[in-house]
Structure formats: structure tokens, C-alpha cells
Structure 1
Amino acid sequence: MTTVTVPKTTDQLATSGLDLRYGDRTIVQGLDLTLPGGAVTAIVGPNACGKSTLLRGLTRLLDPAAGTVTLDGSDIHRMPVRALAKRLGLLPQQPVTPEAITVESLVRLGRYPHQRMLSPWSSADQAAVEEALRRTGTAGLRDRPVDQLSGGQRQRAWIALALAQDTDLLLLDEPTTFLDLRHQLDVLDLVEDLHREAGRTVVMVLHDLGQAARYADHLVVLHDGRLAAAGPPGEVLTADLVERVFQVPCRVIPDPETGTPLVVPLARRR
């Protein structure tokens, strides 16, 4: 009898019975969710439905009121902080830039999980920084103060920091917020390249349903802190779901460029 070995799925985040609260207010409730490893997942939903709160819970920035969060089956709250930081990188929403810091100095902060007390900066550390600058197209900005960059440049610098952390799992909280269309697409193209060329698992919060469907392999839809749907965009994003979750009557048609679902709101009758 031949034994078939099933490869172990890596970089898989999952929640079980997850409740997340701020004080007495429950934001995410009873969430059972599995985010596939080796894929790009987009989390979408109306404002204040719990998207960013969920991302905080997945990265241990917010302790569960109930339930668990696991990474490849291990409870993240039982993992040493540095061990988790070597597995999982986070770009928070609207990160605060240290005053007068340059792009390269910011990106070097991503190497913190790999540093040890009294250990010198190594060639491996610098190589990780250089690779992050190259991949994000920020090498030419290395000596520029971050607070003097455009919004798109600043966002790429922060993504470079997350890349320098050298994790296989990258979580991005609304990486396209406040960017114009060109810079939104630049950031999302970069995310796609990181997934396809470097094999990174990416989980990101997005607002634009068309962009989420175009760039993600897996879609998670939240509604009032609960899971409304999850799966491939072509199966999940339907007119009924959009109207139920977003209260927007619409048609869902194939994107003429990619064939992915495109949401077209119905015109108001006057």
C-alpha cells in the first residue's frame, strides 16, 4: 500500500469562536474563519463592521474576549513575541512616522525581530533592507525624510518596512486609503508581485469591491461583526450579497479586463 504524504499548509491563520471587544462593546462576535495559506485574501465589508478590529485580533494587537486565533494550528497568544514577529508582518492603518526619519532608517526598523542584544548589524540584515527597497521601488528614496514623501511613496516605504521583517505572511490594513487611483493600483500591483514572485501570503483590508475581486484569490465579507460570506470572489460576490450587506442594489458583471466580478450600482429612479 502506497502512503501519500499531504503537504502541510503553511501561513494559515484561523479563528474559532472569536469575540473581540473594546470595553463593553463587542465588535467581532463568534467568528469561525480560515484564511488560506499561499493566497491573497481581501477582507471587505461596510464601515464599522469589524474589518480593522479583526486584523488587530489576528496580529495579537487586541486580545480575544473569547475564542482563539491560530497560525498553522498554534495559538498565537502562546507564541513568543519575537517568534510571531518572524512569521507575521503588519502594516497598520495610518501608521505614525517617527519625526525626520529617512526611508532607509524606517525600513531598517523591520529587522528588529531578528536582532539580539549586543549583536551587530549584519550583512543579512542589510541584504533584507536592500531587497525590500528594491521590491517596493524606494531605493532611490532611501535618504529622503519619510514625512516629505507623497502619499503613494510613503505607503511603499511602510510596505518596505514590513518586507524587511522577512515574514512569509503579510497583513495590510487598508493599504490604499487616501491614495489616488494610480497609487492605489501601484500598491495593489506590488502586493500581487509579492505574492506571485516571492510566494508571500497576504491578508488585506480593502474598501473597493472591484479591486478586492481583481487582486484577491479569497474574499472574506464581514457584516456587523459576523461572517457574511467567504470564498473565491467569483462565488462570493453576488448582487444579493451586496444588497444585503451594503444596502446597495446592483448588478454584478464580469470585469471587461480580467473577468473578475465588477459591482455596478443601479441608477436611482427619479
Structure 2
Amino acid sequence: MNELEAKDLRLHYGDRVVVDGMNLTLPGGAVTAIVGPNACGKSTLLRGLTRLLRPSRGIVTLDGADVHRMSARALAVKLGLLPQQPITPEAITVEALVRLGRHPHQRLLRPWSADDQAAVENALRRTGTDDLRDRQVDNLSGGQRQRVWIALALAQDTGLLLLDEPTTFLDLRHQLDVLDLVADLHAHEGRTVVMVLHDLGQAARYADHLVVLHDGRLAAAGAPEEVLDADLVRTVFGVDCRVVPDPETGTPLVVPRARGGRHTGRGDHVAVRA
């Protein structure tokens, strides 16, 4: 369940084709990280998978059903999305924003329920934003706002969660908090997660499945230890590197080779005299 598939997908903005001929399966029951250099089509692909961007060719299916033939509500109870730059309603408090995540579950004449409030409380607690509930979102720091938007996505309580650069604006501690939360949602709640990340080490550490894009096309897909190597990083990112086991997890870790003029840490210090 929760398997997304793109078949011969073409996505564009105006006359500019961004993703072309994409054939891709994002497995259900897994954490997938989409990586690639800037402007390679990562966010565009995510928009196409969630029908925010209609393809000019091809099809996107969720468990075999065409997402563009599903009603907005039917899709929203199956799939939650955190976009890269969400637009915050004016003068809205944190709790009020997170409550919007329950909208797909509402029905005509159905009152706000204890289950709805429990979902909101759980989302606030899991993202560490419960103490911010009465503050206006516009007055929060970038990192705090990012965690609030993640809370909204969690409150939606879908089996499939798509996150476009969820660690943006976060310092290292909060980046790891978010990624640990993603791992926990997968391990203990069985959620399928697809996220766009920039850090290859974090992607390899937290993802079961890695999708690498290059110039709007699929460069590689599979388990991180199977696809992430020095040749791929050189070809896709233009970086000469070594790929070694992470000393903590054993997952692939990209170590760029030292460039000329940089200190190598081998004792070649330059003495400076007063």
C-alpha cells in the first residue's frame, strides 16, 4: 500500500521542460529520499506526484489509481504534503494552523471530535511545538515555522507523507530531530515517507530507498548502499569524493576530496610571528 508510481512523466513550467520521461516507483512502507543538485527537478517531481502540477504527458498512480482522477478530498486522506515554501494564512495561531490538517477528515454537520483534537495534540507534541500553540505563526523563527508546518502534515494523519526539504531553516539538532521523527513514524506507525533532501549523508542514513535525479531525469534508484558511489557523485554533483561507511551506522558517507589551497590537517601549519 501507499505505492506511488510515475510512468513516462513529463512536467514543465511554460515552455521549459523540467522532468521528462520519468519512470519511477516509490515503494510503499519505506522511507524514500530524493536527492540531486539544485534545479534538477526534485521539487517539481514532488509537485507532479501530488497533482499540484499536471503532467503534459504520462501518469501518476497511487496504489494503481490515477491521482488526477481522484477527488481532492479522497487524495488528501491518503497523502499529506509539506511543500517547500508553504503560504501561511494571515494572523493565524500555531494551533489553528495545525487544526487545518484535519480538514480532509471533516464532513458536513460533523462536529470537531475528540479524535481530531487528539491528532492535533499528538502532532504538536511530536514536533515540539505544543508550547507555541497560542503564538501567531508569522512571529515565529524560520525553524519554528518549519516544525509547525510539519505538525500540520502529521495532523492530517495520512499513510503517505511527502516532505519537500523538511530540514530547511533548521539547525543541526533540529534537523536530526525531524529526521528521527520521520524514522519513528515509519518504524512505529508504518507510514510511508518521501522526502527531498540536500544532505547525501542524511539521505543515506535515514532512507531505505534513494532516488537520484540529474537534469530532470532519473540517474539512479535503489538502496543507498547499492547506488551511492564515487562515480555517481562525480557524474551527478560534479564532486570528486570518496564514499566510505558511516562510522556510526555503516551507511554510505560522502567525503569530498581536499581541493588545492585548503588545509589538509596533516601538520603543514604555517608559523605566524608577531
> Shorter-chain TM-score category?
over 0.9
Deviation at 1:264, TM superposition (A): 0.7
In 1: Cα distance, 2:187 partner to 2:73 partner: 27
Cross-structure match for 1:154 = 145
In 1: Cα distance, 2:143 partner to 2:180 partner: 13
Please give the secondary structure, in 1, of the residue aligned with 2:2: coil
Deviation at 1:99, TM superposition (A): 2.2
In 1: Cα distance, 2:194 partner to 2:183 partner: 11
Matched, 1:134 2:125: yes
Deviation at 1:126, TM superposition (A): 1.3
Please give the secondary structure, in 1, of the residue aligned with 2:195: strand
Cross-structure match for 1:229 = 220
In 1: Cα distance, 2:238 partner to 2:126 partner: 39
Please give the secondary structure, in 1, of the residue aligned with 2:8: strand
Structure 1 outlier segments of 4+, above 3 Å: none
Deviation at 1:75, TM superposition (A): 0.6
Q: Which runs of 5+ in 2 are unaligned?
A: 262-274
Q: Which amino acid aligns with 1:103?
A: V
- Single out whichever of 190-199 and 55-64 deviates more from structure 2: 190-199
Cross-structure match for 1:210 = 201
Cross-structure match for 1:261 = 252
Deviation at 1:92, TM superposition (A): 0.4
8 Å Cα contact 2:143-2:169 kept in structure 1: no
TM-score by length of structure 1 reads 0.94
Matched, 1:86 2:70: no
2:164 equivalent among 143, 166, 173: 173
In 2: Cα distance, 1:184 partner to 1:165 partner: 21
- The residue correspondences of 1:232-247 to structure 2 (distance < 5 A) are 232-247=223-238
In 2: Cα distance, 1:254 partner to 1:99 partner: 47
- The residue correspondences of 1:1-270 to structure 2 (distance < 5 A) are 10-269=1-260
Deviation at 1:187, TM superposition (A): 1.4
Q: Which amino acid aligns with 2:213?
A: L
Deviation at 1:256, TM superposition (A): 0.9
In 2: Cα distance, 1:200 partner to 1:136 partner: 16
Deviation at 1:119, TM superposition (A): 2.8
In 2: Cα distance, 1:58 partner to 1:16 partner: 11
Deviation at 1:208, TM superposition (A): 0.6
In 1: Cα distance, 2:175 partner to 2:122 partner: 22
TM-score by length of structure 2 reads 0.92
Q: Which runs of 5+ in 1 are unaligned?
A: 1-9
Say what the alpha-carbon RMSD is for the aligned residues: 1.1
8 Å Cα contact 2:200-2:253 kept in structure 1: yes
Deviation at 1:140, TM superposition (A): 2.0
Please give the secondary structure, in 2, of the residue aligned with 1:257: coil
Please give the secondary structure, in 2, of the residue aligned with 1:105: helix
In 2: Cα distance, 1:52 partner to 1:139 partner: 29
Deviation at 1:120, TM superposition (A): 2.0
Q: Which amino acid aligns with 1:202?
A: V
In 1: Cα distance, 2:208 partner to 2:138 partner: 34
Deviation at 1:266, TM superposition (A): 1.0
Deviation at 1:226, TM superposition (A): 0.4
In 2: Cα distance, 1:189 partner to 1:19 partner: 33
In 2: Cα distance, 1:35 partner to 1:162 partner: 19
Deviation at 1:94, TM superposition (A): 2.0
Q: Which amino acid aligns with 1:82?
A: R
In 2: Cα distance, 1:255 partner to 1:224 partner: 28
Please give the secondary structure, in 2, of the residue aligned with 1:47: coil
